[in-house]
A and B are shown apart, each in its own frame.
Chain A
Amino acid sequence: SKFLEEDPAGFISPEKYYTTELQVQAAVNGTYTGLDDIFSTDIGVAVSPSFSLEYLTGYSYRLRPAANADNQFLRLDPIDPANGYLENWWKAVYYPMENCNSVIDNLGRTTFLPESDKKKYLGEVYFLRAWYYFMGVRLFGDIPLKTTPTTDFNNVHIPKAKQAELYNQIVADLKMAEQSGLPWTDASGHVSLGAVKSLLAKVYITMAGYPLRKGNTYYQLAYDKAREVISSQQFSLFASYGDLRKNSLKNTGEHIFMLQRDLANAGNMLHFALMPFPDLPITIQPAYGGALAPRLEFYQSFNAADHRKGEQVFFFTEYPGFNNPTHIIPLPVPLIFKYWDEQAEQIGKTGQNFPYLRYADVLLLCAEARASLDGGSTTNTFAIDAWHQVHRRAFPGSVKPAQLHVNDVLKERFWELCFEWHTWYDMLRTRKALNTTTGQIVDLLGYQAPNHVHPFSEKDLLLPVPLSEVQKNPLLK
């Protein structure tokens, strides 16, 4: 009867949506919300699934006591499928992916928007779907592939797809995004053509390496795509490392794609989580740190002359007391300075963006792809120049070499991109590690990283599918 009908006022039913461009914009904006899913926190202090990715490398540790779930990543123990972080990472792939599927499906059927506008909106969403799947396939390997919205909630058991199939979808989505008419850069932080091409380069070089090992064809594709980004001259390295942390320079210069944060409504937890533990009074709110610190071995693997090792560049070993600048407080161990926010130090809140793709990454990808393509070392000046731009900032006045070995590029990546959530992915696709004792690139398998209790073996390279998901979908066994 009419009396019992429901007509909610606080939310919109999807059936009544997609009638105006502003609605479309809001739906597209919604597909970005998944980008910060891994930075979720729970009631534990300085606990977040996102740190697992850095714990796995073995180059970092946790100052605060760790619970079992963190310990498995920190120690490289076999990861229990019941480990709760697995669920966080898994959901960070599929929940946002469903938003993307829904927008792609619904927007595809609307007719009121001009085709070119529609394509642009879809371009953003295709990029993000590729982003989420790329994260999932690298961490978990074969996982279900789903590109349409869920309509049937009874037949929900989707089988795993092969990694090659997933990568094909990722490439296809990124190609759609590439053709969608997006601008090269976007100062507000939306997906830009630069971001699309950079990610595509990253996908290609990953496909060239492990586990697909598609080799030179894909190194070539990666090189070409990275070169396109570089040649566009839309991006440039910041002169000073300090600029990387400057909120005023967000989404510009070196920053190609970022997780957008805001002081009032979407804070960044990293400034606080990376503070010293036990507390030191170097900031207004020193109580919640201790999540992540570099292992001393890794810190010491930097060349003494490397600017990145310098005080308050990537790391710090002492800091003035809060409101007491003349009192310098030594830290018991070197800590990460990459996310230090001077504003947060004063007011206890930070709205600093988190870099997801930066130009240094693309430059190094370009060099690595070329060196790999050329059989391990290259004399290609474009590639050497790309690498040297990054290297020169750390070692001003260093001379550009005539030949570049792929291991030089990898080393540069370990140092340049450390603690930016890239290292584990690099280790997976190259199956190489930085031996912190010798400073040399070594095979990943058999190498024991400073914080691990076991050397890496094949079984450590993929995260198990979360137990709870296997229980809900036996096809994931």
Chain B
Amino acid sequence: CLIACMAIAQEAPRLQQVLIDLTARNRPLDKILQDIEAQTQFRFVYNSAELRAAGSVTINRKRINVEQALHELLPAGLEFRQRGYNILVLIKEETAGSAPNKDFLVSGRVVDAAGQPLSGVTVSAGNSRRATVTNEQGSFVINASKNESLEITSVGFEDITVAVTGQPLQIVLSPNRRQALNDVIVIGYGNLQRKRLSTAIATVSGTQLNERAASMNIVEAMAGKVPGASIMLNSGKPGSNPSIKIRGTGSINASNTPLFVLDGIVGLDPMIIDPSIIQSVDILKDAASAAIYGSRGSNGVILMTSKQGVKNKSNIIFSNRVSIATLAREIDLLDAKGALEMIERQYAYMPGRLAPHKDPSNDFARKDELFYPDGTPRYNINWQKEATRTALSTNSSLTFTGGKDNMTSLVNLSYKKQEGIMLNSSLQQINLFANLGWEVKPWLHLKTILNGGGLQSRNVDLNSLGFNAIREMYEYLPFIPVKYSDGSWSRKGDYPGAENSENPIRLLNEVRSVTGQTYVMGNITGTIHLNKKIDLVTIFSGQLGGAYNNYYSGKDVFGFSDLENGIAQRINGNAGAWTNEDYIMYNDRIGKHKFNALAGASWYFNVGTSTFAGAENFFDDFFSYNNLGAGTVRQTPGSDRQQNQMNSFFTRVQYDYDNRYLAGASFRVDGSSRFGANNKYGYFPALWTSWLVSAEPFFQRWLPAVSYLKLRASLGVTGNAEIGNYATLSRLNPTQVIFGGQQQPAVVLSNPGNRNLKWERGEQLNIGIDASLLNDRIAFTAEVYRRRTTDLLYIKQLPATTGYGGIYDNIGSIRNQGLELSIRTRNISGRNLTWTSGINFFLNRSNVLHLNGDIIYNWAGRIMEGQPTDQYFGYYRTGTWSTAEAADAAVFGRKPGDVKWLDRNKNQAKDAGDRVPLGSKMPRYQIDFTNTFSSGPFSVFIDVSSMLGHKLANFSRFIMESHTTSVNSYSAILNAWTSDAQHTSLAQLRLQSDGGENEMDNYYIEDGSFVRVRNIAVHYELQPAILKKLKMEKCTIGINAENYFLFTKYKGFDPEATSFDGDLNQGVDVYQYPKPKTLSLVLQVTF
């Protein structure tokens, strides 16, 4: 945590900036210093003996700054130095001894509050690189000079710095209790200590981001760590984009993704951010905190802060992870014997009809290769095994940090290569990150970051509705081999009547889709200290990026490119953006009244272009997508250019009385080019307040068990502008029509404009409570919120008679309300064992309040007024018609053995009126439970996560487990209706040509509730003796098991899934990429 402490140190006010009142008569010096502590955020570090020697002091000064006060208070033999929020009180060099700067041995002993010796505590000597650790008795000896101080650090305790006195030191460490409260969090255009916060901001530290070794990107790493943020890891695909929603789905036609900011660079793609460069992530959840980001804040804001170098300490940190991933679970599909039983039963629907392999008169081409003469299969292939592999991934990162006098710097180089468990799918990324902090002049501080790199992935899950490799892995028949003995690939249609589609292994090998991007972004922040109270900040940021998507499908790949003789395509995009933000900050204090204020303006510009080219008919697969000219048929090329701009003004004031009563307000004016000419600017106010109840004098007498208690409330308005560009303009789109076999240019009306269109408005009320109990053993935070999105950026459905399907308008409102609970406990904090736990719990309930009376049907669901946004909706299967019900079935035009649906409107026909709500797409409750055990050098981390009450629309099962399926199926299909077993929900098996309806109904909408042991990690820290030999400062070796245990009834690969966007179609599972379980070895060395 050294880095974190130093990061805070940079943010601390200078001593002369902080004013105090001091009144004391003949009071011991250490008590007066405690008075100063009570009035400020500063903490003194001193040797009690030295202060006692200084005797008592009398002082009576109003509004004096701390520096001045200390000059007056301290006797001649002592001096003071500021270290962030710490003030070191030391014996002055000249009085300390005769041999300044000469090293001598300092000895000491480190104990805890109970006087028990602490072993393994790191003691390092001031500016030098010397360090040691305490032994079993807590004792240490270190070489130090008189003008140095010792830094004492140990996990679980507050770091302290003590002056070297020449006498043996007795050092008492206090448990690291309120560290979280003292942490500085980033709030957007500034920082704030957590204890002074009134809004709903959650923080994830860099350490937490690294807890799960298998996480490859920042959003994945945050999963389960933020109450209120639904992070769904929807696919096992390398580089897949997890969906993240903060406090529910507020929007229908605009985005529901939060705004990502890295060190002031606004609007990043989080997928390209390497987690290893991140120091911490702060998540602005409520509207009051996000309102400072105005029209882009309505889905929450995620502020990432990069790591920084440390002054006067150079380190090299090397970390490497090697992971092995395998298929986590298999779906219960039919084997060869089962599949043939299913097919035989399908043929037997018509009495006497024989399946091809049983029919002596059917002599299909591959019959003898597939079947023994008696019709039993020669092969039994498990396609889930064939199409997946043991995937090896590595993730290495090398960080150099350092600093001198007025500069700090950090350089990070990282490389990762992740193999997917599906054959040939992969992701690799290389990233270089560098930052520099430079105190150019006492009045000017510069900070700059540069981040650049490239990533590339090979995808196998193209075209999720088509016959892609993953779908074929599910659906391929198990009695057909990968290749025949003559070396040729098999095809599913080799068995007559089966859907004729390509072999999954061939698709994985011969269809090549590579996407990637290169990017560079940077910013420079200048802070000018105009005077003691006013700082001026100016930031320039820029981003450049190129994205590509290359595709080639070979000459003979059936159903993909065989008719075209090979298809090659390339899509290239380029984008650039710049931002300038300038603001002024004002800090002041009058007695117990503290103020700070901020005002600023920003400009943002973004432009992007894209190009598409494609060719067909290649004489050879050699060229792939690298030489489109080799194809003789050209596809229609395409290109596009888009641009958007923003211009904003913002201000914020905060007031704090005696650290007990806090209040603040902010206001942002946001102009966006995306809105209608009549409504370019939007206005976003916010208000917040909090009361630190536990700081009231009466409180500690009244409720001593509660050491910290704060109540807070906030109310704010944010906006949403994520509708894409040019949505307010009427359009004539160019297209082509054919005349005489030739393409001719044409234009058609495509989008009616709306010059009045404006941002979507999100109002949110948040009430929170923070508390620490029982000597800080239990800390908890609870929040309730009500979020109302109004003026939805909604494509208002228009009657077709207007000529259009819809027009963007500000119509409708959605309410999300919920509860978040976060509990941290120290269950055991003994000498040999510490055990801490964390529980995050949250729930969100949505309701569409108003939607112009429209009903929107999406995948197996609907959105309508008075209903949740995430509702499944469809027919309700009550079973199958039995032979006894033949007459009733006939009324519906059905026969015994057909599916029976609820006739809800009792009109004796199956129609739209029979459909009913079928459950929720989003979890009703989400719980994450983490435990950390530490004992000596070992620590164990266990992360259990659970989502409850959500359902998935298992489209894969709907297609496969159908009575007329012509592909492989789930084993359960053998429970289908027969005249002997009529009590079932599956209709009698038959061929497609025998007819019979099926529906995506409740039978295929499955409960997705699960408990997952998401991660188990064991870490071992190398012992000091070994470290010394290896010349290392620190070395951690760990092993990490991700996704090893999952408890669910869901029948697909994983109940956290969607095949489309997670905004409104979470849980729609169309042949999801299977999820791996991953075992990682972790090594981290600090030199």
Query: B-contacting residues of A (Cβ < 8 Å)?
Result: 1, 3-15, 17, 22-23, 25-27, 29-30, 32-33, 43, 63-68, 71, 75, 77-78, 80-83, 87, 90-91, 93-95, 97-99, 101-102, 144, 146, 149-150, 153, 156-158, 187-190, 247, 250-251, 260-262, 264-266, 277-279, 284-287, 347-349, 351, 453, 467-469, 471-473, 476
Which chain B residue has the least Cβ–Cβ distance from A75?
B893
14 more contacts with CB within 8 A, not counting A82-B913, A189-B739, are A4-B680, A8-B725, A11-B734, A12-B747, A13-B730, A80-B909, A80-B913, A153-B796, A190-B739, A250-B741, A261-B738, A262-B742, A349-B563, A453-B893
B222 to chain A, nearest CB (A): 34
Q: Which residues of B, 313-352, contact A by the 8 Å Cβ criterion?
A: none
Q: How many Å from the CB of A89 to the closest CB on chain B? A: 10
Cross-chain pairs A/B with CB under 8 angstroms, 8 sampled: A4-B671, A8-B729, A29-B737, A102-B749, A153-B754, A156-B799, A261-B738, A472-B854
Question: Known contacts A6-B729, A8-B726, A26-B747: does B804 contact A65 (CB below 8 Å)?
Answer: no
Give the distance to chain A from B574, nearest Cβ to Cβ, in Å: 14
| Nearest A residue (CB) for B467 | A287
Indicate if the CB atoms of B912 and A80 lie closer than 8 Å.
Answer: yes
Residues of B close to A94: CB separation below 8 A: 800-803
Q: Find residues 852-880 in chain B having any chain A CB closer than 8 Å to their own CB.
A: 853-855
The answer on a CB contact under 8 Å between B740 and A101 is no
* Chain B 495-521 interface mask (CB, 8 Å, partner A; 1/0): 001011000000000000000000000
Decide: B909 and A77 in contact? CB cutoff 8 A: yes
| B673 interface residue per 8 A CB criterion | yes
A162 vs chain B, min Cβ distance (A)? 16
**CB-CB under 8 A for A189 and B749, given A4-B671, A80-B912, A264-B633:** no
Q: Are A11 and B731 in contact (CB under 8 A)?
A: yes
User: Which has the most chain B C-beta neighbours within 10 Å: A14, A149, A266?
Assistant: A14
The 4 closest A-B pairs by CB, nearest first: A98-B803, A82-B912, A348-B563, A188-B740
A277 to B966, CA, bound (A): 13
Instruction: State A262–B741 Cα separation when bound (angstroms).
Output: 5
Task: Give, as a whole number of angstroms, the nearest-CB distance from B721 to chain A.
Answer: 12
> Does B798 lie within 8 Å of A153, measured CB to CB?
yes
Q: Which of B410-418, B634-642, B1030-1038 contacts A (4 or more CB under 8 A)?
A: B634-642
Smallest beta-carbon distance A427→chain B, Å: 23
With contacts A6-B726, A77-B909 known, is A67 near B997, CB below 8 A?
A: yes
B992 within 8 A of A: yes
User: A287–B500 contact, CB under 8 A?
Assistant: yes
Q: Identify the closest chain A residue to B680 (Cβ).
A: A4
Most B CB contacts (10 A, CB to CB) among A11, A15, A63, A97 go to A11
A265 and B636 form a contact (CB under 8 A) = yes
B995: CB under 8 A from chain A? Answer: yes
Q: Which residues of A contact B912 (CB under 8 A)?
A: 80-83, 467
| Chain A residues with CB below 8 A from B465, complex form | 43
Question: B563, A150: Cβ atoms under 8 Å?
Answer: no
The answer, yes or no, to whether B733 is at the interface (CB within 8 Å) is yes
B743 at the binding interface (Cβ < 8 Å): yes
C-alpha gap A266/B499 in the complex (Å): 26
Closest to B647 in A: A3
Q: Is the CB of A265 within 8 A of B743?
A: yes
**Shortest Cβ distance from A6 into B: residue:** B673
Whether the pair B747, A27 counts as a contact (CB closer than 8 A) is yes
Q: Are A266 and B738 in contact (CB under 8 A)?
A: yes
Task: Determine whether B934 belongs to the interface, using a CB cutoff of 8 Å to chain A.
Answer: no
Q: A6-B673, A94-B800, A473-B799 are contacts. A260–B739 as well, Cβ < 8 Å?
A: yes
Bound together, the chains give a CA A415 to CA B295 distance in angstroms of: 64
Question: Could you say which residues of chain A place their CB within 8 Å of the CB of B909?
Answer: 77-78, 80
Interface string of B86-98 (1 = CB under 8 A from A): 0000000000000
Give the contacting residue for B645; candidates A4, A80, A469; CB below 8 A: A4
Given contacts A65-B997, A260-B738, A349-B563, contact A277 B992 (CB under 8 A): yes
Q: Is the CB of B738 within 8 A of A262?
A: yes
Question: Residue B596 at the A interface, CB < 8 A?
Answer: no
Are A278 and B801 in touch, CB under 8 angstroms?
A: no
Determine whether B167 belongs to the interface, using a CB cutoff of 8 Å to chain A. Answer: no
Which label, helix, strand, loop or mixed, suits the secondary structure of the A interface? loop
Give the docked Cα–Cα distance between A371 and B804 (Å): 43
Question: Does chain A have a CB within 8 A of B1015?
Answer: no
What is the CB-to-nearest-CB distance from B463 to chain A, in angstroms, rounded to a whole number? 11
Is A65's CB under 8 angstroms from B995's CB?
yes
Contact of A65 among B673, B799, B992 (CB under 8 A): B992
- Taking the nearest CB of chain B, how far is it from the CB of A62, in angstroms? 9
User: Cα distance A12–B493 when bound, in Å?
Assistant: 48
Cβ–Cβ < 8 Å partners of B744 in chain A: 25, 29
State the Cβ distance, A265 to closest chain B Cβ, in Å.
6
Q: Determine the distance from Cα of A46 to Cα of B910 in the docked complex, in whole angstroms.
A: 23
Cα–Cα distance between A277 and B499 once the two chains are bound (Å): 11
- A contact residues around B797 at 8 Å (CB): 468, 472
| Residue in chain B with minimal CB distance to A4 | B673
Chain B nearest CB from A476 CB (Å) reads 8
Indicate which residue in A27, A63, A78, A351 contacts B993 across the interface (CB closer than 8 Å).
A63
Instruction: State whether A260 touches B737 (Cβ < 8 A).
Output: yes
Q: State A278–B499 Cα separation when bound (angstroms).
A: 9
Asked if B734 and A26 make an inter-chain contact with CB atoms under 8 angstroms apart, the answer reads yes
Closest chain A residue to B797 by CB distance? A472
Give the residue among B500, B809, B911 with the most A Cβ atoms within 10 A. Answer: B911
The docked-state distance in angstroms from the alpha carbon of A102 to that of B559 is: 41
Name B732's closest neighbour in chain A (CB-CB).
Answer: A12
- The CA-CA distance from A10 to B638 in the complex, in Å, is 10
A65 touches B801 (CB 8 A): no
Indicate whether A471 sits within 8 Å of B854 (C-beta atoms), given known contacts A14-B732, A80-B912: yes
Residues of A within 8 A of B854 (CB): 471-472
The residue in A158, A264, A284 that gathers the most chain B C-beta atoms within 10 A of its C-beta is A264
> Is B779 an interface position by the 8 A CB rule?
no
A439 to B30, CA, bound (A): 116
Please name the residue on chain B nearest to A28 by beta carbon. B746
Any A CB within 8 A of the CB of B736: yes
For A78, the chain B residues whose CB sits under 8 A away are 909
List of A residues within 8 angstroms of B736 by Cβ: 265-266
Residues of B contacting A10 in the complex (Cβ-Cβ under 8 angstroms) = 639-642
Assembly CA distance A43 to B959 (angstroms): 12
User: Inside 8 A of B731's CB, which chain A residues have their CB?
Assistant: 11-14
Chain A residues contacting B798 (CB-CB under 8 Å) are 153, 156, 472
Say yes or no: A26-B746 contact (C-beta < 8 A), given A64-B992, A262-B738, A351-B741: yes
Complex contact B746–A65 (CB within 8 A)? no
Q: Which residue of A lies closest to B803 (CB)?
A: A98
Q: Which residue of A lies closest to B496 (CB)?
A: A278
Question: Shortest beta-carbon distance, B1007 to chain A, in Å?
Answer: 26
The answer to whether B733 and A11 touch across the interface, beta carbons within 8 angstroms, is yes
How many angstroms from the CA of A266 to the CA of B803 in the assembled complex? 23
**Are A279 and B500 closer than 8 Å at their CB atoms?**
yes
Q: Which residues of B contact A158 (CB under 8 A)?
A: 799, 801
> Cβ of B754: which chain A residues have Cβ within 8 Å of it?
153
Contacting residue for A17 out of B647, B747, B995, CB 8 A: B747
Residue of A whose beta carbon sits closest to that of B633: A264
Within 8 A of A (CB), among B620-659: 633, 636, 639-647
Nearest chain B CB to A86 CB, angstrom units: 11
> Nearest Cβ distance between residue B129 and chain A, in whole angstroms?
52
A371 CB to nearest B CB, Å: 37
- Which B residues are in CB contact (< 8 Å) with A8? 642, 725-726, 729
User: Which residues does chain B contribute within 8 Å of A99, judged by CB atoms?
Assistant: 748-749, 803
Taking CB atoms, residues of chain A closer than 8 Å to B747 are 12, 17, 23, 26-27, 29-30
What B residues does A277 contact at CB under 8 A? 992-993
A22→B746 CA distance, assembly (Å): 10
Of listed B642, B912, B913, residue having the most chain A CB within 10 A: B912
Give the distance in Å from the alpha carbon of A467 to the alpha carbon of B493 in the complex: 41
Given known contacts A29-B745, A43-B465, A347-B563, A144 and B633 CB-to-CB distance under 8 angstroms:
no
Q: Are the C-beta atoms of B732 and A157 separated by less than 8 Å?
A: no
- Min distance, Cβ B895 to any Cβ of chain A, angstroms: 13
